[in-house]
């Protein structure tokens, strides 16, 4: 399997860093599920930079959750 280019931090709140390559949201959801995390359980999404392999599934995830989005304004 190709690299995921994302990280999950679960403590008091759950943070997803980057959202993986575009078109792979089903794989991302499966990976989250394997850790016991549901998409709705993500409190914040941090995008490190705007490359398709780091923010590709952002729109799909934001449509499914009320997570905060943390990203640089440009």
pLDDT at 47: 96
Q: What's the pTM?
A: 0.88
Domain spans in the chain, listed from the N-terminal domain onward:
7-70
Which 8-state DSSP code applies to residue 41? Answer: G
Q: Give the distance from CA 60 to its chain's centroid.
A: 10
Average pLDDT of the residues in 32-56: 93
pLDDT > 80? residue 4: no
Q: pLDDT by residue (tens digit) across 5-41?
A: 789 999 999 999 999 888 888 988 998 999 999 999 9
pLDDT at 1: 44
Residue 3 to residue 6: CA distance in whole angstroms: 9
pLDDT at 9: 96
pLDDT > 80? residue 52: yes
Q: With helix as H, strand as E and coil as C, how does 11-69 read?
A: CCCEEEECCCCCCCHHHHHHHHHHCCCCHHHCCEEECCCCCHHHHCCHHHHHHHCCCEE
């Amino acid at each position: 399997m190709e690299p995921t280019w994302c990280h999950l931090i679960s403590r008091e709140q759950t943070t997803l860093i980057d959202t993986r390559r575009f078109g792979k949201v089903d794989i991302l959801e499966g990976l989250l599920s394997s850790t016991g995390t549901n998409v709705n359980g993500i409190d914040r999404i941090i995008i490190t930079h705007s490359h398709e392999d780091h923010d590709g599934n952002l729109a799909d995830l934001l449509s499914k959750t009320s997570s905060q989005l943390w990203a640089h304004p440009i």
